[in-house]
Amino acid sequence: MKQLKSFPENFFWGAASAANQCEGAWQAEGKGVSISDVMTNGTHKEPRRITPVIDEDRYFYPSHEAVDFYHHYQEDIALCKEMGFNIFRMSVNWTRIFPNGNESEPNEAGLAFYDRVFAELKAAGIEPLVTIYHNENPFALTQECNGWADRRCIDYYLNFCRVLFERYKDVVKYWIPFNEINCLTTKLGNWNHAGILNEGTEFFTDQVDNPNLRFAALHHQFVASARAVKLGKAINPDFQFGTMICHITVYPLTCNPDDVLMTQQEDLMRNCFSGDVQVKGVYPYYIKRYFERHGIEFEITQQDLKELREGTVDFYSFSYYMSNCISSDPASAQVSGNVMGGAKNPYLTATEWDWQIDPKGLRYTLNHIYDRYGIPVMVTENGLGARDTLTADGKIHDAYRIDYLRQHIEQMRLAIDDGVELIGYTPWSTMDLVSVSTGEMEKRYGFIYVDKDNEGRGDLKRYRKDSFFWYKKVIETNGEDL
Ligand code: BG6
């Protein structure tokens, strides 16, 4: 048989992070309060709380210190270099640059921090891949205008983008305007993805939803993303912009046509809609009917539609952790995800947090995406949240994580062989970080172990996990030795 195609020569190998989950230093050098900073810790069973007034005597706020990347970035980047990364996905914390989001002048100390991070990456030969917005909305914008529900956020965000693009035009080429923008198709997107806090909302998982506001917010982000692309390319025509979709692949639980139709609807709404707008530059036909059927109304101007057409992205990136099944039978057993749940697939196993593990689903998804859009694709998140044990001699034997990643990389290679133009892989996560859905530290994803527990105890010391050495070898052999 003909040999399988390999990963291309210039394939991007690295890992991902997000400022609010790793930086800590939540008030350092003029930083303002972000929406992540007012979230308490939780567990798989107890939801995180959103507290508009920070009360550190009563609650623990995991983002405040996180894993202190702010003071450990040199050490962390050195470890990335040791693994052989040629790309590092990170986000810029909006409130370091604009503490309240609405100032006209940026905070120089915040910019200087990212100058240092980018210089360190450059010296290590690592390309930054920068997410502009990853759950870091300034909390002041929630107070001013209920976050992205209000059109004003578009201009505030563009002001932030202009500062980033001008300052870093020679050091950053790859940009992601919004992380998992499609989460706003579900009510869990309200807070993290748009800073919307409707009256009565107390818990992250139980947000009071107003679909008119939520879809307006999503529309504002589409317009902001398109305008960012146009603005960025005017500043540096070499900039490359990508979408970032939380892709929870869905299968019909049975071949009952009701399940099949429901699955198609779910896929279009949750997975395809946002990519369609950002890649094709138009609102797809099915969403217009969805809005009519659900009585969803918000303002879309002719100017907005023009801007959407003019600011399409260059590559498609997405997170892939799991797949779920869709069933028209309400009695089907349910599993969870951090944003969208679904029915249990009898052929798959799941993590302790009920995320179903489905490596073959990644090949299926890559083909699905490339067939739909035909532009370069990057997997910008994928990984296993698991409890790790630090042994007395400073080791972490995470064979389960290696297994998970190995199987997913195998499927990426098969997708490349199918003909998909896959250009990079940045699994979640570089180092252990605060979990978004639960606020835990012990739902670990990193190649680098960080000594910190769910209650905030630990000395933040970094350790190389077994997966660290394994991934180093994968990168060295360009994905040949798994
Ligand atoms: C993605 C987010 O949805 O999933 C990350 O972009 C997040 O920020 C990751 O950390 C894993 O989810 P969790 O809830 O386990 O942290």
- Measured CA to CA, the distance from residue 404 to residue 402 in angstroms comes to 5
Q: Is the CB–ligand 1 distance for residue 142 below 6 Å?
A: no
- Measured CA to CA, the distance from residue 255 to residue 343 in angstroms comes to 14
Does pTM top 0.80 for this prediction? yes
Place of tokens 């970032």: 244
Place of tokens 């009071």: 208
Each residue's pLDDT tens digit, 338-373: 556 788 899 999 998 889 999 999 999 999 999 999
- Measured CA to CA, the distance from residue 137 to residue 314 in angstroms comes to 25
CATH code of the domain in which 404 resides: 3.20.20.80
Nearest CA to ligand 1 atom 15: 435
- Residue 5 maps to a domain: no
- Measured CA to CA, the distance from residue 198 to residue 221 in angstroms comes to 19
DSSP string, 190-241: HHHHH----TT--BGGG----HHHHHHHHHHHHHHHHHHHHHHHHH-TT-EE
Q: Which of 69, 179, 205, 381 to mutate to test the pocket of ligand 1 (most atoms within 8 A of CB)?
A: 381
Q: Is the CB–ligand 1 distance for residue 319 below 6 Å?
A: yes
Whether the Cβ atoms of residue 286 and residue 253 lie closer than 8 Å to each other: no
Q: Is the CB–ligand 1 distance for residue 428 below 6 Å?
A: yes
Percent over 90 (pLDDT), the chain: 93
Q: Which residues sit opposite 242 in a β-bridge?
A: 315
Nearest partner of 435 among 52, 95, 43, 32, judged by Cα = 43
Which CA distances in Å does 55 have to 48, 51, 191, 379, 392?
Answer: 14, 8, 19, 38, 36
Structural domain boundaries enclosing 107: 12-476
- Residue 482 maps to a domain: no
Residue 336 banded pLDDT, cuts 50, 70, 90: low
Each residue's pLDDT tens digit, 248-272: 999 999 999 999 999 999 999 999 9
58 exposure class (CB count in 10 Å sphere: 0-12, 13-18, 19+):
exposed
What integer is the mean pLDDT of 418-441? 97
Contacts of 186 (CB under 8 A, 6+ apart): 270, 339, 340
Total structural domains within the chain: 1
- Measured CA to CA, the distance from residue 259 to residue 1 in angstroms comes to 38
Place of tokens 């818990």: 203
Each residue's pLDDT tens digit, 365-423: 999 999 999 999 999 999 999 999 999 999 999 999 999 999 999 999 999 999 999 99
- Provide the 3-class DSSP secondary structure of residue 56: coil
What is the 246 CA–ligand 1 centroid distance (Å)? 9
Give the position, in ligand 1's atom list, of the atom nearest the Cα of 183: 3
Q: Is the CB–ligand 1 distance for residue 381 below 6 Å?
A: yes
What is the 431 CA–ligand 1 centroid distance (Å)? 13
Say which DSSP state 242 is in.
E
Q: Is the CB–ligand 1 distance for residue 430 below 6 Å?
A: no
Each residue's pLDDT tens digit, 134-174: 999 999 999 999 999 999 999 999 999 999 999 999 999 99
Each residue's pLDDT tens digit, 305-324: 999 999 999 999 999 999 99
- Residue 450 maps to a domain: yes
370: amino acid identity, one letter: Y
- Residue 205 maps to a domain: yes
Q: Which residues are catalytic?
A: 180, 381
Whether the Cβ atoms of residue 139 and residue 178 lie closer than 8 Å to each other: no
- Residue 245 maps to a domain: yes
120 phi and psi, to 5 degrees? Answer: -65, -40
Question: Strand pairing of 448-450 and 422-425?
Answer: unpaired
Which CA distances in Å does 472 have to 56, 228, 377, 428, 482?
Answer: 40, 35, 23, 15, 10
Whole-number pLDDT of residue 3: 81
- Residue 187 maps to a domain: yes
Q: What torsion, rounded to 10 degrees, do the Cα atoms 99, 100, 105, 108 define?
A: 0
- Residue 461 maps to a domain: yes
What is the 196 CA–ligand 1 centroid distance (Å)? 19
- Measured CA to CA, the distance from residue 184 to residue 193 in angstroms comes to 7
Whole-number pLDDT of residue 333: 64
- Residue 52 maps to a domain: yes
